Amino acid sequence: MNIPEKDDKAINEIAAHYREILRLIGEDPDREGLVKTPMRAAKAIYDITSGYRKDPEEIVSQAIFEHSGSRIVVVKDIEFYSMCEHHILPFFGKIAVGYLPKDKMIGLSKLARIVDCFARRLQVQERLTAQVCDLLARTLPNDGVIVACDAGHLCMKMRGVEKQESSTVTYDYTGRFVEDYSLREEFLSFIK
């Protein structure tokens, strides 16, 4: 990617927009408690969207190793935080990733980095789940990939329908997970 990890010019421009947003909602951006808020908010949104400045395929390529053992590999409870592209409000939860290795494996921490790469963008949960699954299916030698995501959305909890206990579950899978229901059931039993 060509975008630098820290871009002071972009952060300053974002801060100017936050200052204007404060004014437009009826606040005084020069009030003591708000003077530094535009810059803090700009740095926060820049960090929250750091996935735009990372290459998920490069993350995968850095950690693929020879392996001829496991029938299934599952990493569960990978926490993530993302921003709903419809309301620019947070949604967050946990992702579980499973795959059937085909003579290769990926370093386990890279699975969490891949989740973060896609989660730290303006996102919808359905696409996040599919992007993680698709990337691994395309770049990691495998006989199938499965991804499950369970998240709560502040756009449903603090505005609109205001359903505090609601959560959303999404799944995506490829390869033998499509053909073999028992493999999907095995994965689901591991993550419960």
Q: Is the per-residue pLDDT at 187 higher than 50? A: yes
Helices (H) and strands (E) in the chain, counts: 8, 7
- Select which of 117, 123, 125, 149 is catalytic: 125
What residues contact 107, with CB distance under 8 A and at least 6 apart? 62, 63, 65
- Select which of 131, 133, 149, 153 is catalytic: 153
What's the pLDDT at 138?
A: 97
What's the pLDDT at 191?
A: 95
At 67, is the pLDDT very low, low, confident or very high (cuts 50, 70, 90)? Answer: confident
| Rounded Cα gap, residues 44 and 1, in angstroms | 20
- Which CATH number among 3.30.1130.10, 2.30.29.30, 3.50.50.60, 3.40.1080.10 corresponds to the domain 63-191? 3.30.1130.10
153 is catalytic: yes
For the chain, give the percent of residues with pLDDT over 70: 97
Q: Which residue has the tokens 């990733």?
A: 97
67 is catalytic: no
Asked whether the beta carbons of 170 and 125 are under 8 A apart, the reply is: yes
* Annotated domain spans of the chain: 8-48, 63-191
Report the pLDDT averaged over residues 97-116: 96
What's the pLDDT at 158?
A: 86
Instruction: Note the pLDDT tens digit of each residue in 21-49.
Output: 999 999 999 999 999 999 999 999 999 99
> Pick from 74, 181, 168, 186: which is nearest to 126 by CA?
168
What's the pLDDT at 4?
A: 56
> Pick from 141, 136, 113, 8: which is nearest to 51 by CA?
113
Look at phi and psi of residue 140 and say left if phi exceeds 0, alpha if psi is from -120 to 50, else beta.
beta
84 is catalytic: yes
- Select which of 27, 67, 155, 186 is catalytic: 155
Element (H, E) at 20: helix 8-24
What's the pLDDT at 5?
A: 65
- Select which of 86, 126, 179, 185 is catalytic: 86
- Select which of 20, 79, 85, 179 is catalytic: 85
Least confident window among 4-13, 90-99, 167-176: 4-13
Report the pLDDT averaged over residues 1-6: 56
Report the pLDDT averaged over residues 73-78: 97
* Architecture of the domain delimited by 8-48: Orthogonal Bundle (1.10)
165 is catalytic: no
Instruction: Note the pLDDT tens digit of each residue in 111-169.
Output: 999 999 999 999 999 999 999 999 999 999 999 999 999 999 998 888 888 888 789 99
The pLDDT mean for the chain works out to 94
At 2, is the pLDDT very low, low, confident or very high (cuts 50, 70, 90)? Answer: very low
162 is catalytic: no
